[in-house]
Structure formats: C-alpha cells, structure tokens
C-alpha cells in the first residue's frame, strides 16, 4: 500500500498531525476541568478535532489509506510529544482512522464533496464510539445517556471534522500552497460529484 506514496505526502500527514496536536493540547486542558463537572460529556464535543486530520489529509492527497494512515500517525505523534493518554491513543487512532477510511472506501475514493467528508466524520465517530463503548465501559451507563453521548460525538464528527475539514482544505487550497497534490489537480472535476 505504501509503494504508491510519495515521501513528501507521508511527511505532510505527519506535520499536519503535529499542527493539530498543538491545537488539541490547547483544548484538552479546558476539557479536563469540565470533565469533573459534566463527566465524560466534556470530551464528546471535541472528538471532531481528533478526526479532522484524517479528513483533511484524504481531501488533499486522495489516495486509499490517507485517512487511516494520517490518523494513526497523528496518534503516534501525540504519544511522542508526551500526551499522557499514551499508547492507548495509537489504538484509538487506528480505530478512528478506519472509520473515516471506511466512508471514503464506500464511495470508491471517487467523491470528496462535503457529504462524503461529513460521512467520514460520522464514520470516525461511530467507530470510535463502538471502541469507547467497550474500553470505557459505556454499557454501565443509562442507554439514554449513552445515546446523548453518541449524538454529540456524531454531530462533532460531522460538523467539526466534516464541514471544518472541508473548510480548512478549501482555504488551504486557495492559498496556492497545495500545488502538486491531488486536490489541486482534480478540484474542477469533483465540484458537483
């Protein structure tokens, strides 16, 4: 799978992960304080920030694996830069990345419009929720509370990761710095797909 990848694309995913890693650190402190007051709900709404890397990378590079690899690399980098959540993040990253990747794979990696990107955000949300259901033991919670958590996470995935990812991808494209990446070449063909 990696044969067809240029090194500069792999490094790009890694550096994007660093950028969002820095952003994420800014928010996670705030959420930690809220966590005491409103419990695990504090983290739910910001899950989208987690998923956004995979969506932006796929939107730019448009190669099978972009969502999965970028999310996994993002998690690995998060571990390297000393995120205290540590190695279990890698597993989380793998799962989230697979969720987004599944959405792109469903559409045959042909369409990258806003709906597909939102679907990818939802994909990450659903996959990560199933994983969290198991690891964090959501089974012990009231089903209606679990449903609320799920809804917030899906919304966060669709809005922050999906719409936000598209917005940032387009804004970055407008700066002219993405010359030589798939997004710059195919931007005309995919507008209404």
Partner 1 sequence: MRNLLHNMNPSVKFIAVTISMLTIAFFFNPWTPLLFFVSILLLQLTMSHINWKLWLLFMLPFSIGAFGYLWTTVVFGADTGGTIIWSFAGINVTDEQWAHALSLSFRVMAFSSLSLMFAFTTDPVKFILSLMQQLKLSPKLAYGVMVGYQFLPVMKDEFTQIQQAQRLRGVEVEKRSWQRIVSMRRVLIPMLAGAVRKAERSAFAMEARGFTGEPRNAYYRPILLSRTDVLMSGVFLIILLTSCFGGIWLN
Partner 2 sequence: MLKETFSLNHLSFRFPDDQKATLKGISFSISKGEKVVISGPSGCGKSTLLYLLNRLYPDNCDGSVDGEVLLFGKPATDYAPGEINHRVATVFQDPDSQFCMPTVEDELAFTLENLQIPFDKMEARITAVLELTGLTHLRHTIIQSLSGGTKQRVATACALIMEPEVLLLDEPLSHLDPYTAKQFVEWLTDLQLKTQLTIVAVEHRLDSWGKFFEREIQLDENGCLVNDHLFSPKQPILFPERSISLQPKTALQVENLSVTIKNKQLLTPLSFSVCRGEIVVVAGPNGSGKSTLVKSLCDIYKPTTGTIQSDGTGYVPQSPEYLFLTQTVQKEVAYSGSSNPTDIASLMTRLRLDEICEDHPFAISHGQKRRVAIAAMLADKRPVLLMDEPTSGQDKAALLELFELIDQRSKEGTTFLIVTHDMEFAASIADSVLLIKDGELTGKFDAKDVWNNEELLESHHLLTPKGVDRFAESFA
Residues of the shown chain interacting with partner 2 in the complex, contacts defined by CB under 8 A: 6, 8, 171, 174-177, 179-180, 184-185
Between CA 21 and CA 166 the distance in angstroms is: 19
- Give SS3 for 191: coil
151 binds partner 1 (CB under 8 A): no
Report whether 105 contacts 65 (CB < 8 A). no
Q: Which does 103 bind (CB under 5 to 8 A by kind): partner 1, partner 2, none?
A: none
Taking residues 1 to 20 in sequence order and writing x for each that binds partner 1 by CB under 8 A, - otherwise, the string is -x--xxxx-xxxxxxxxxx-
Report whether 13 contacts 66 (CB < 8 A). yes
Cβ partners under 8 Å of residue 90, min gap 6: 72, 75, 76, 79
Q: Minimum Å distance from CB 192 to partner 1?
A: 25
Give the distance, in angstroms, between the CA of residue 159 and the centroid of all CA atoms in the same chain: 11
Instruction: Supply 8's token pair.
Output: 């500069």
Q: Which does 185 bind (CB under 5 to 8 A by kind): partner 2, partner 1, none?
A: partner 2
Site residues, partner 1 (CB under 8 A): 2, 5-8, 10-19, 21-23, 26-27, 29-30, 32-33, 35-42, 49, 56, 69, 73, 76-77, 79-88, 90-91, 134-137, 139-145, 160, 167-168, 171-172, 175, 177-178, 180
């Amino acid at each position: 799978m990696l044969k067809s990848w240029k090194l500069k694309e792999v490094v790009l995913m890694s550096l994007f992960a660093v950028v969002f890693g820095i952003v994420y650190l800014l928010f996670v402190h705030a959420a930690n304080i809220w966590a005491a007051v409103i419990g695990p709900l504090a983290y739910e709404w910001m899950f989208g920030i987690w998923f956004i890397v995979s969506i932006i990378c796929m939107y730019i590079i448009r190669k099978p694996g972009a969502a999965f690899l970028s999310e996994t690399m993002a998690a690995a980098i998060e571990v390297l830069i000393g995120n205290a959540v540590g190695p279990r993040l890698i597993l989380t990253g793998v799962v989230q990345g697979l969720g987004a990747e599944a959405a792109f794979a469903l559409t045959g990696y042909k369409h990258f419009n806003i709906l597909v990107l939102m679907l990818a955000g939802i994909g990450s949300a659903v996959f990560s929720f199933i994983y969290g259901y198991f690891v964090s033991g959501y089974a012990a919670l009231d089903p209606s509370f679990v449903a609320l958590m799920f809804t917030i996470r899906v919304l966060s995935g669709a809005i922050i990761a999906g719409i936000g990812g598209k917005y940032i991808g387009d804004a970055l494209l407008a700066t002219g710095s993405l010359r030589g990446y798939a997004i710059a070449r195919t931007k005309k063909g995919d507008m209404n797909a």
